[in-house]
Chain A
Amino acid sequence: MATDSDDLVRVDFAFRRELAEKVEGNLASFCYQCGACVGDCPSARYDPEFNPREIMLKVLYGLGSELMREDSILWRCTNCYSCHERCPQQVKPVEVIISLKNMLADRGIIPDTVEKVTHTFETTGRTVPYSPAIDKQRERYGLPPLPPVPMEEIRALLADEPTGGGDA
């Protein structure tokens, strides 16, 4: 836990502000810690270290340093959306977790498996790398070759928003 030398919790407000600016990142503010997200969470059931209620609590306390790190617990979420379904406050814990992952990515901290898939997408417009063997397989079923993806359009969409401009 982030503490001062005298063991007081120090809330990282910059972290909370940064999260609040992400799409659906501010939803954690509505969390009243009821724990409805925990009961159906498969990661919580199979991994004693993972608890969506505790992740929301760390967000509320602004304990950014515990979440913004290599090997962050956030990546152990299964993305099953049960917490989204159960939350009585519409916090959408999984979406808060995804916003936190966006913050990790902004810092260049991203697991290799995730980086590999996103790189394939950013360079080819697909998440499965193309190979001629794919079209050969498709031909067997009377299917045409994979159609091309207009990468100039995809690249234009992926470019960052100008700062101070459309980023509101």
Chain B
Amino acid sequence: MKRLAFFPGCLIPARHPAMEFAIRRTLERLDIDVVDLPGASCCPDPIYFKSKDKVAWLSVAARNLCLAEELGLDIFTNCSGCTATLSETYHLLQDPELRERVNQRLRRIGREYRGTIRVRHVATVVRDEVGYDAVRASVGRPLEGLKVAIHYGCHLLKPSAIMQVDNPDNPEVMERLVEALGATPVRHRNWYLCCGKACQSEQVPLHMMRDLLQTVHDEQAEILGMICPTCFGQFDHGQAKVSKEFGLDFHTPPVYYFQLLAFAQGVPYDDLGFERQRFKPEALRRFEAA
């Protein structure tokens, strides 16, 4: 059984506990030993805090990596933003000068970053440690015929040299993970667009989301398959905002992949927190009746 330190971050544990529940539940079924990481802080976020002070950002991130180093375990995250912060820290701190500068700060709290562990995203943990076939074997009710539009988001894939997850121009990990549930992944025309959450402009995210949601709508996808909790918020409440702004009727419910996996493994629809979403994935109910 593979043991890994779990870095849940802020957004999922605080805003979307059903996602955390689904991760713990599904990984247990897939024989991953999830080890908690006491004392972890925000990764810190790769948008706001990094914009304020990159050295302080690296130092706090390095402290989080230290916690896993002390356990001698690789660290995995469930949020693309946390993966970006921790992966970039691992990458940048291979530079001895910068590592020493960060370690000077870490010495204030009696810690030292050594660069001995790897950072993984939960999607790659499932791909590389479990495998698609084992995911398929864990599914109790295949989601046959369910059309899932995939939204990768940006930070899972880019920058690819640092993230080392998949080819950002033609990724497949999410498609394969969705196929393993028996569902049909759909790559819509604007699949590569960003959710816009990190852009401090009203107009850019609104217009970009409109174009993205239009191609999801054109494909008649029943749900949007999500892997990033920040994108998730943009596509749930944000989708209503885009519809209102442009007088359109977009209503494709976003579903975080591990909730979809939990449902396919047999967790009841009503136990997965979907009632808290603005757009509820009612399409899943038909698999429950079967």
Residues of A bordering B, CB below 8 Å: 22-24, 42-43, 45-47, 50, 75-82, 84-85, 92, 98-99, 101-102, 105, 110-111, 113-114, 117-118, 121, 125-128, 130, 134, 137-138, 140-143, 146-147, 149-150, 153-154, 156-159, 161, 166, 168
Contact = CB atoms under 8 A, between A and B. Distances in A.
Given A118-B52, A128-B11, A143 B41 contact: no
Nearest to B105: A157
A147 B38 CA distance: 7
B52 A102 contact: yes
A127 B11 contact: yes
Contacts of A46: 203-204, 207-208
Interface string B269-283: 000010000000000
Interface stretch (B68-76, B154-162, B237-245): B154-162
B14 A79 contact: no
A127 B54 CA distance: 16
A98 B198 CA distance: 12
A117 B49 contact: yes
A127 B51 CA distance: 14
Contact of A127 (B44, B52, B58): B44
Interface in B37-96: 38-42, 44-56, 58-60, 63, 92
Interface of B: 10-11, 13-15, 17-18, 20-21, 24, 36, 38-42, 44-56, 58-60, 63, 92, 97-98, 101, 104-106, 108-109, 154-155, 158-160, 168, 193-194, 196, 198-201, 203-205, 207-208, 273
A127 B45 contact: yes
Given A126-B10, A158-B60, 17 more contacts: A47-B203, A78-B205, A81-B159, A82-B154, A85-B159, A113-B48, A121-B49, A127-B48, A146-B13, A149-B39, A157-B59, A157-B106, A158-B53, A159-B108, A161-B101, A161-B104, A166-B101
Nearest to B169: A85
B196 A138 contact: no
Contact of B54 (A50, A76, A98, A141): A98
Contacts, number: 176
Nearest to B102: A157
A84 B162 CA distance: 10
B162 to A, nearest CB: 9
A77 B51 CA distance: 11
Contact of B200 (A24, A114, A137, A168): A114
B41 A126 contact: yes
Contacts of A125: 41-42
Contacts of B199: 43, 75-79
A72 to B, nearest CB: 10
Contacts of A156: 105, 108-109
A147 B204 CA distance: 37
Contacts of A157: 56, 59-60, 63, 105-106, 108-109
Contacts of A153: 39, 63, 109
Contact of B52 (A110, A126, A149, A150): A110
A16 to B, nearest CB: 18
Contact of A154 (B47, B54, B60): B60
B289 to A, nearest CB: 24
A140 to B, nearest CB: 7
A87 to B, nearest CB: 10
B45 A121 contact: yes
Contact of A81 (B17, B155, B200): B155
Contacts of A84: 158-159
Q: Which of A24, A50, A153 has most chain B Cβ within 10 Å?
A: A153
Nearest to A146: B13
Nearest to A116: B48
A143 B18 CA distance: 9
Contacts of A111: 200
20 contacts: A23-B58, A43-B201, A46-B208, A47-B203, A75-B199, A82-B158, A85-B158, A114-B48, A121-B49, A125-B41, A127-B44, A127-B49, A138-B17, A141-B20, A141-B273, A143-B20, A143-B21, A149-B39, A149-B41, A157-B56
